[in-house]
Structure 1
Amino acid sequence: MNLKEFRAAIGRKDTIAPGAALLRFTAAEAPSVDGEARVATFVFSDNSVDRYGDTIDARGWVLDKFVANPVALFGHDSNSVENVIGKARNVRVDGQRLVGEIEFMEASVNPNAEAVYQMVKGGYLNAVSVGFAPIDWAPTKDKSRPGGVDFKKQELLEISIVPIPANPAALVQARAAGIDVDRLGLIASASEEPPADLAKRRSALLVRKVLGRRTKGLYDLGCLAGLLSELGMLTDWSAWEAEMEGDGSNVPDMLVSILFDLADAFMAMAQEEVSEFLSTYTEEPDLIGMAEADVNYVKQGKSVAARCFRAGRIKMRDIGVVKAGKVISADTEKKVRDAHGHMTQACDILMGLVEPSADVEEKEIVPEAVASDPDKELRVRRAQAMKLRLEIDNSAAA
């Protein structure tokens, strides 16, 4: 029976089965962990009001039967021996809290227990939940908690570490740290690949939102790679800032989640765009005139696109050889040298417009008649530059 069904049956005690098990999640502070002993100390329950408006009186805990078999579970799953992760010990009432320790099994005994322990130790999981059988209770008289129940006496049945409130980003970080998160089934939905059409639509939508246009290609794939690089650096920076400031910021986890989503979109987009690009090569390359060794090299390509690529490499190599060994005529060489000389003179004059060179005599650039007139000097230099430009154009046309 869950708490909702229990509250609905309040006032009709004959409808409540004796020993009905209820669950209560406890969002307590992070546990302290003794790494050498594989033991974590938790607050299992307290007198606080939960989100349903219920309270559990710490003085009413009955612990005898639980202490006789202090099994610790993962996710309240007692049907699978793999989810028995250890044993509770030193369970006791301390003021208004039910506290105690969980000693985790070794990895050689239960790999699931090892995964849960590493996640608790790393701070990825820190919540516990108690399963209990209500013995004495009453509807609350507190008007601020309508429908709430005050449990006055209750028997502890089991204690579980639960994945709530671990968020997807934290689970991704745990996986990146080498913890076998998949074994626990916490992010099965995230690890399973979506249908191809769904992944394609999702990646296309994300890319359009990021790049701001509907069409995309290999150039856009490069842009997306740049965005991923920048986002990765931003994520590292935000994590450093959160650690330095110690403000518990959730921004790094949010950025990690976005980073993984964007990476998924990048991979889907890369596969799509490369496939579309390669699909344009449908005709075999022209091998006429190639040496026998080159022809054999091209034919070793496993697809039309691969063979076209190999043929292109051969042709570019041959073009490079022809260009490197080309001999120009004396007339062409003279024109090239003349053009180079004109361009050198033009550069000297343009540099003189900005800042006259100290090692060039003024009479070589500016006639004495205009030396005292700065405006006229500028006009003369512009005329000289224009004349050289015309000469360069004529040389290029020739």
Structure 2
Amino acid sequence: MFRQPIACCAGAPLILASIFATTNSSQTSDPLMSKTAPTHRRSPDANTLTRRASFDAKSFDSNARTFTAVISSGSAVKRRDPFDGSLYNEALAVTPSSVRLDRARSGVVPLLNSHRASTLDDQIGVVTDVRIEGGQLVADIRLSPSDAGKAVAAAIEAGTPPNISIGYVVHNMTEGVASRDAIPTHTATDWELLEVSLVPIPADPQTFIRSHKGNNMPIDESIEIDDDNEQETEYSKRNQPRAMSDRDARAAYDIAARAHLPAEFARQHIEQGVTLAQFRTLVFNKLADAADRTQTSSIRSDETFDNPNFLNRTIEDVLYARMAGKPVEGAAREMAGRTLLDLGTMVLQSRGERVSWSSRAQIADHVMQRSGGYHTTSDFPILLQGAGQRVLRDAYQAAETPLKLLARRRTAVDFRPMTSAQLSEAPQLLEVGEAGQIKYGSRSESKEVGSVKTYARLFSISRNALINDDLDAFGNSARDWGKSAAETEAGLLVALLTANNGDGPTLSDGNPVYKTTRGNKASVGSAITVDALGDGRQALRNMKGLDGKTPINAIPKHLVVGSAKETEAEQVLAAIAAAHVDDVNPFSGKMALHVEPRLAGNAWRLFADPSQVSSIVIAYLNDLAGPQLAVQEGWTTLGAEFRAVLDFGCWMEDWRGTYLNPGN
């Protein structure tokens, strides 16, 4: 089981909404709980809105350790968008079609101690059932028999029940339109309960809650905001010498988070009275000190979703499986049902960024942006690129031409012409006379020239596709460009063989590759027969080196035909159990058949193994075989643009390792 942060359990931010459970003797209640609607009130020491929910201690069963509570009324509360700082009201729709209750009803929603989920001791109970009553979300909860559970039970029996807070994930938010003098109200029309916590009442804006990793997190992103202005609170006035306003304090917490410093670092310096400018200097010095120390690898060996490297690899596996139409395997199975936005927000959160689900369009823009001035491996577009590269490579390899098997591969470092130089065979060694004199020997040379060229196309994934969870267009494009790259290579190789009416390109000696005077072309075309193959084999065996005298003994290993000659070639190369010696097929199992449908007509060719005598050369830039994907933020389109690039070249470097029969 791969452990994942609660905030990422469904690919959306965890929203902590404090619901203060208080008794109210003036309200009428049933035997289980009060039916009064929740009300909003101001905490005396904080500028937060609280949701008041009824909690009747009489609902507690000490023998079963169970109680019932209203955990959400869905009332609208004010929040701040972390992207642009704008305010909006968030409401939760509490209807059977809006709240996903299957998870809670299955008994897997825990009761936690102050939202902590780092160890098993943090769970002090479990939600056994959830239902909707009168527009409110009501939960039945059973306490654990642990010491912490017993302490909660004692508090309830004593008439001092704790406060309740919930953690939930929003799957879909309906955005409202603000009037001229009001802020918009966004309603969560599809949300899911992740956990219920027992928490103390937040006393002021500097109150901290525990995150799922056990680190202190400032509450300003999870509490409701009371005022549009940024006036200092009573807390600020009472706790001098604090020099930061509430706005500056929130900025300090944000700076600390982006610098991967604990919230405690920010809190201590805020209470010490430093200004925001001084705090920035402190953070800079802290980072500089860390850079001076011996660096250790940040890659964690544990394969959990807490490890950003493992999380990124898993997300890439999910994207690849979806685009390739393959089953999701391993850890990626836990994310198989996530949308593209879900996966993108998980990447953002893993690198410490906050995500607001108030606008899916804003999330899409944020997901497709760089994390800095350039794309890094922690960017979602890079994960898309990696998955797309794998889809492209699969399609490319499936469509590769068999002609590449006949070639010698080289690596180009740039686009300048490359020379295939060949020296003639070394002269024979001569006997050394009594005087001990050794004579010099000479060698002739030939060379052919070729170069790598670039072939490329652009395609993109739009913001709309990301919002609509449509990965098909991107996957199909990657697949098509993979096939296109293979087609490009095949077309260039076929063009070599069919140049000069099938005699091949003209070499440096002024003659085409195939010519009867070279001895590598049959004077009269014929069908593929044992006798015709024998003539071709003999021609290659008798080939001489550049000196015109030394046999190179080229052994034909490959028979290349077009689709018109495929069946004929298979019949000739087939293994036959011969009854007579004359019926034995001498070529059975000695040649590999390669069918290239782009080769039209009846001509057929023999090639020696390229490790012995290479006739064709293929080259890639910097040894990057096949097409490569690159990504940049969309300029001509909203989203991200991807570029498929193939740096490839091919040419003929020798005529001695190949034989042509024009066919009939």
TM over 0.5: no
TM-score of the aligned structures, taking structure 1 as reference length = 0.34
TM-score of the aligned structures, taking structure 2 as reference length = 0.21
Q: Which has the larger radius of gyration?
A: 1
